[in-house]
Structure 1
Amino acid sequence: MTTLVNLCGKAKNMIVVTGATGGLGGATVEHLLRRVPADRIGVSVRDPGRARHLADRGVRVRQGSYEDPAALRDSFAGAEQVLLVSGNDPAADMVGLHRRAVEAAVEAGAHRILYTSQHGAVPGNPYRPSDVHLATEAILGASGAAWTALRNGAYGPLDQVLGPWQRTGVIAKPEDGPVPYTDRADTAEATAAVLAGDRRFDGPVNLTAPAAVTFDDLAGIASDLTGRTIARVVLDDDQWIADQIATGVPEQMARLMLTYYQAARAGYFAEADPLLAELLGREPHTVADRLAADLAA
């Protein structure tokens, strides 16, 4: 069971964020800068040169990567909290790399480790990255440090999720199921709120949009926004794999993505959670909001 701990009045020290030149990590740091002094923020990045814009604003920038535990320990030094942004290289031993990062944070004396996990990371989920997240959460649980797993809803750009629907008028994907597609900007803002605020969560928590939708729902929303009929076409799994390979997608990657659709249709992502809205203090962006913004861009 998730436990909410009130830390009002406790002295707050440095927050270190990994992956701060990436999309989620970088946006999280930007939101942190609006909440806490820059000298309380550190980042651990592969290439410090790419974080010059943060150093110029007073953020502590140190080199570190999950492949280099010694550098990680140095980049985590003095941190009360460390945010570990999960890796996503399907060819790498991500569990082993995450283990090194957790161990480095513990050795550096971090009091709390936060980890960007995945919504629906439960046993039996056929989407393979779920296994990585579950294994990493187990490592966190055995680490001896306080920890929080932010199980983020799918926050990829909707044009990547839906394909070229604006050009074709069709959302042609395998059979799916309800998913609370979440805005990455909202996820980053909520992550910064957890890092900077007086609320601490022990164990896993879900950060998702407030409603789960299907491709049928999205086709209807897109039709309303554009004033033209956007069709939803369900593709056979094997045919979709063959089509992906024909367009140059590596077969391993295509089969990995198919497990996502299989998990969605089995209901593993169906449960939405109100916590994201609570942390933001407002309603998160809906898929309709995001599609409208894409159309206006």
Structure 2
Amino acid sequence: MIIVTGATGQLGRQIVERLLTRVPANRVGVSVRDPQKAQTFADQGVRVRQGSFTDAAGLAHAFEGASQVLIISVDKMGEECVRQHRTAIDAAVAAGARRILYTSQMGASATSHFQACRDHAATEEALRACGVPFTSLRNGFYATSAARFVGNAVESGRLALPADGPVAWTAHADLADATAAILADEGRFDGPTPPLTGGQALTFDAIAAIATEVTGRTTTRITVPDGQFREQLVDQGVPADMADQLLGIFAASRAREFATVDPTLTTLLGREPIALGTVLREQLSKE
């Protein structure tokens, strides 16, 4: 049985939906914190069990009978993030999984400027040490992150952010399709995958131009000093440590940690990846 964690989240839900087009529902199980939110999957014949990365005993039940376990990274950073991932890895090993898959990031590195990428690197080390074959999905930077920055700027017409570098923004839908394909073709990748990226690496200068085209309202890119940006975030109520983590994204992009454009995702999809402009259009239409 293929077990998918976090199956009610933005990425996890789409992965399960795509997976059900490739394998029978009785071969799919999900581990979720709130089973009621996964009722749609249960109605289709998917096994739904409660599981949390903070509850090793609960994960043992959620992962029972697993042939593969897909661990979707938690929305946390630092020691707590890596600790939860290790709990999930240990549970997958104990369940007898033949392979563990993990949603990592293209910039995963112990020396990254961005905390999340350092966390991904630490999780990958735990996977290497666990004794079970693994696949680390080196996902491109989520395009919805760019869309959130743009959404905040459209009203004012000012995209005021720190200096940045090119980023291979990648759509959740494309990564879900690719992940389902990899799960259905067990063992296609061993260890870290090549970067699974969109077709272009874009700076926020280019994104401002795309936002102007998409909305019909001029969006001007303005570069602000890192310190000023941090102060603005804190003044808006963002916790200081979170503000520092957001700044890490810009420092990492300036170091070109997210600049690689790789053809692997295109090959897996059998088509060109979704363009950032399409993601922006869809996101802004919801606001």
Normalised by the length of structure 1, the TM-score is: 0.91
Aligned to 2:88: 101
1:203 matched to 2:214: no
Asked if the contact 1:186/1:284 (under 8 Å) is kept, the reply is yes
Aligned residues: 284
Output the CA distance in 2 between the equivalents of 1:220 and 1:144: 48
Match of 2:237 among 233, 248, 258: 248
Asked if the contact 1:163/1:171 (under 8 Å) is kept, the reply is no
Asked if the contact 2:127/2:134 (under 8 Å) is kept, the reply is yes
Cα RMSD (Å): 1.6
Output the CA distance in 2 between the equivalents of 1:288 and 1:208: 15
1:292 matched to 2:274: no
Asked if the contact 2:78/2:115 (under 8 Å) is kept, the reply is no
Aligned to 2:121: 134
1:166 matched to 2:154: yes
Asked if the contact 2:150/2:211 (under 8 Å) is kept, the reply is no
Residues 294 and 94 (structure 1 numbering): CA distance in 2 closer, same or farther, change over 3 Å? closer
How many percent identity over aligned positions? 49
* Residue segments in structure 1 that go unaligned for 5+ positions in a row: 1-13
Output the CA distance in 2 between the equivalents of 1:45 and 1:295: 29
Residues 105 and 169 (structure 1 numbering): CA distance in 2 closer, same or farther, change over 3 Å? same
Asked if the contact 1:62/1:75 (under 8 Å) is kept, the reply is yes
Match of 1:32 among 7, 11, 19: 19
Please tell me the residue identity of whatever aligns with 1:99: R
What secondary structure does 1:164 align onto? helix
Asked if the contact 1:45/1:64 (under 8 Å) is kept, the reply is yes
**1:159 Cα deviation from its structure 2 partner:** 3.0
Output the CA distance in 1 between the equivalents of 2:39 and 2:121: 34
Aligned to 2:269: 280
Output the CA distance in 2 between the equivalents of 1:289 and 1:100: 37
Please tell me the residue identity of whatever aligns with 1:204: P
Q: Which runs of 4+ in 1 moved over 6 A?
A: none
Asked if the contact 2:77/2:115 (under 8 Å) is kept, the reply is no
What is the CA deviation profile of residues 46-87 of structure 1, one whole-angstrom value per residue up to 9, with x for unaligned ones? 121221111111000111111111221221111111000011
1:41 matched to 2:28: yes
Aligned to 2:132: 145
Output the CA distance in 2 between the equivalents of 1:91 and 1:144: 24
Where do 1:1-297 residues align within 5 Å? Answer: 14-90=1-77, 93-157=80-144, 158-197=146-185, 200-205=188-193, 206-296=195-285
Please tell me the residue identity of whatever aligns with 2:113: P
Residues 294 and 23 (structure 1 numbering): CA distance in 2 closer, same or farther, change over 3 Å? closer
Return 119-128 or 34-43, whichever deviates more: 119-128
Output the CA distance in 1 between the equivalents of 2:177 and 2:3: 16
